[in-house]
Amino acid sequence: MSKRDYYEILSVERDASEREIKKAYKRLAMKFHPDRNPGDKQAEANFKEVKEAYEILTDSDKKAAYDQFGHAGVDPNRGHGGGNADFGDVFGDVFGDIFGGGRRGGGQRQAARGSDLRYNLELSLEEAVKGLTKELRIPKLTTCDTCDGSGAKKGTTPTTCGTCHGQGQVQMRQGFFAVQQACPTCHGRGKIIKDPCNSCHGEGRVEKSKTLSVKIPAGVDNGDRIRLSGEGEAGEFGAPPGDLYVQVSVREHAIFVRDGNNLYCEVPISFGKAALGGEIEVPTLDGKVNLKIPAETQTGRMFRMRGKGVKSVRSHAVGDLLCKVVMETPVKLNDRQKELLREFDETLTGSSSKKHSPKAEGFFDGVKKFFQDLNS
């Protein structure tokens, strides 16, 4: 019976990254895990199929052989030269056969370190600026407590593989060549578990959720990562665990925009306040403060409030708050207000208009000269 395509099993594209492959594997492994499907033979078969696909596609040598030769490239029972061996393996074994030597040292595969995990943590701007402690619930593979990660039933121990005699590799011959490949019986571990642990089914690891208390330092920003050493998934059969990376993203704020350690905001002011000057209240992350507006302030002017920004998580320098004042045109005027504005506007026209509106006068003088030049 022909095997299914490994990429099809994991539902990933052939150019999928290792991260995408791991993500697909974890999702399917949880779905078909025997603990979640007791007595379901089909789920058990699917679980084994998913595990096999994952092991091939996350091993760079096996993946390359599979991409080139298909299942024949990774089948230890076939002698295809593309299997697990590199050029060093091939020629080392060839000359070893000719001159009576052999490979020095055992080829037993070391138990793999646990996978690193990533947790996406979304924070408000206030939380990111001030820092806090978050409780995170992380689902992951942890060392089986029943067998202490050995995979063997309590009271038993793994035995030496009879096929490779504990070496983890066997020699496959193809004509003149002799190729070292992972032992098909123990899959390169050198040991066999005859009586698997009932809790982890010989895997040495079980799926559990762990609650961690994570301190988020003040000043973190989008893209910052917090590394928790040893809080990733447990390694295979006692190997070291991976790490957990907490990836920070900060939600958009209704008032402030952050740029590094500085904060920006727009503050609307009335025409009267812009013309005559005065004080207005502006928001900061620590509360309201008063900002003095000079007379004749133009819309778009930027005011800097030093030390009202964000404290850097790295240098501890504190940024500033930059307030852009935007003059707001009054709306829904009554008749009396409209009449007053007309009277006021009339006082600005005539010979004194240049004094009151120098930018407008300069603009229209430039427009006039532009058309004169076109017609000349």
Element spanning 365, H or E? helix 358-375
pLDDT digits (tens, 9 = 90+) for 143-170: 999 998 888 998 898 888 888 888 888 8
Arithmetic mean of pLDDT, 192-212: 90
Task: State whether 135 and 204 are in the same domain.
Answer: yes
Please check the confidence at residue 82 and state whether its pLDDT lies above 60: no
Q: What is the pLDDT of residue 66?
A: 80
Mean pLDDT (the chain, rounded): 82
Task: State whether 118 and 215 are in the same domain.
Answer: yes
Q: What is the pLDDT of residue 36?
A: 81
Does residue 92 fall inside a structural domain? Answer: no
Residue showing tokens 């050029």? 87
Q: Provide the token pair at 128.
A: 């990111």
Does residue 173 fall inside a structural domain? Answer: no
Better-scored residue on pLDDT, 370 or 207: 207
Task: State whether 275 and 202 are in the same domain.
Answer: no
Most confident of 73-87, 171-185, 280-294: 280-294
Q: What is the pLDDT of residue 101?
A: 36
Please check the confidence at residue 54 and state whether its pLDDT lies above 70: yes
Cβ atoms of 119 and 187 within 8 Å: the answer is no
Q: What is the pLDDT of residue 366?
A: 64
| Percentage of the residues of the chain whose pLDDT score is greater than 90 | 40
Query: According to the annotation, is 323 in a ligand binding site?
Result: no
Q: Provide the token pair at 233.
A: 């998934």
Residue showing tokens 């063997």? 152
Q: What is the pLDDT of residue 314?
A: 81
Q: What is the pTM of this model?
A: 0.58
Task: State whether 147 and 277 are in the same domain.
Answer: no
Does residue 96 fall inside a structural domain? Answer: no
Most confident of 38-47, 62-71, 171-180, 358-367: 38-47
pLDDT digits (tens, 9 = 90+) for 203-218: 889 999 999 999 999 9
Half-sphere exposure (Cβ direction) of 271: Cα atoms closer than 13 Å: 6
Does residue 309 fall inside a structural domain? Answer: yes
Does residue 221 fall inside a structural domain? Answer: yes
Please check the confidence at residue 355 and state whether its pLDDT lies above 70: no
Q: What is the pLDDT of residue 253?
A: 94
Please check the confidence at residue 331 and state whether its pLDDT lies above 50: yes
How does residue 103 score in pLDDT terms, banded at 50, 70 and 90?
Answer: very low
CATH code of the domain in which 319 resides: 2.60.260.20
Better-scored residue on pLDDT, 179 or 226: 226
Please check the confidence at residue 300 and state whether its pLDDT lies above 90: yes
Better-scored residue on pLDDT, 350 or 1: 350
Please check the confidence at residue 135 and state whether its pLDDT lies above 90: yes
Task: State whether 353 and 285 are in the same domain.
Answer: no
The pair phi, psi for residue 276, each rounded to 5°, is -95, -20
- CA–CA separation, 51 and 22 (whole Å): 11
Task: State whether 345 and 369 are in the same domain.
Answer: yes
- CA–CA separation, 139 and 137 (whole Å): 7
Does residue 230 fall inside a structural domain? Answer: yes
Cβ atoms of 284 and 308 within 8 Å: the answer is yes
Task: State whether 149 and 266 are in the same domain.
Answer: no
Domain boundary among 204, 230, 251: 251
Domain boundary among 251, 282, 315: 251
How many angstroms separate the Cα of 276 from the Cα of each of 59, 67, 70, 298, 326?
A: 73, 75, 80, 11, 15
Arithmetic mean of pLDDT, 69-94: 47
Task: State whether 285 and 203 are in the same domain.
Answer: no
- CA–CA separation, 369 and 177 (whole Å): 89
- Our count of domains for the chain comes to 3
CB atoms within 10 A of CB 166: 17
Q: Which domain holds residue 233?
A: 111-156+196-251
- CA–CA separation, 300 and 325 (whole Å): 5
The three-class DSSP label of residue 213 is: strand
- CA–CA separation, 231 and 211 (whole Å): 11
How does residue 367 score in pLDDT terms, banded at 50, 70 and 90?
Answer: low
Point out the least confidently predicted range of 94-98, 202-206, 309-313, 348-352: 94-98
Q: What is the pLDDT of residue 176?
A: 60
Q: What is the pLDDT of residue 353?
A: 53
Domain boundary among 305, 327, 349: 327
Task: State whether 222 and 345 are in the same domain.
Answer: no
Query: According to the annotation, is 265 in a ligand binding site?
Result: no
Does residue 48 fall inside a structural domain? Answer: no
Task: State whether 294 and 344 are in the same domain.
Answer: no
Arithmetic mean of pLDDT, 109-130: 88
Please check the confidence at residue 107 and state whether its pLDDT lies above 60: no
Task: State whether 118 and 246 are in the same domain.
Answer: yes
Does residue 78 fall inside a structural domain? Answer: no
Task: State whether 247 and 346 are in the same domain.
Answer: no
Helices of type H across 245-305: 271-276
* Closest to 248 in 3D by CA, of 118, 161, 348, 369: 118
CB atoms within 10 A of CB 227: 11
How does residue 186 score in pLDDT terms, banded at 50, 70 and 90?
Answer: confident
Q: What is the pLDDT of residue 348?
A: 77
Query: According to the annotation, is 147 in a ligand binding site?
Result: yes
Query: According to the annotation, is 161 in a ligand binding site?
Result: yes
Better-scored residue on pLDDT, 268 or 84: 268
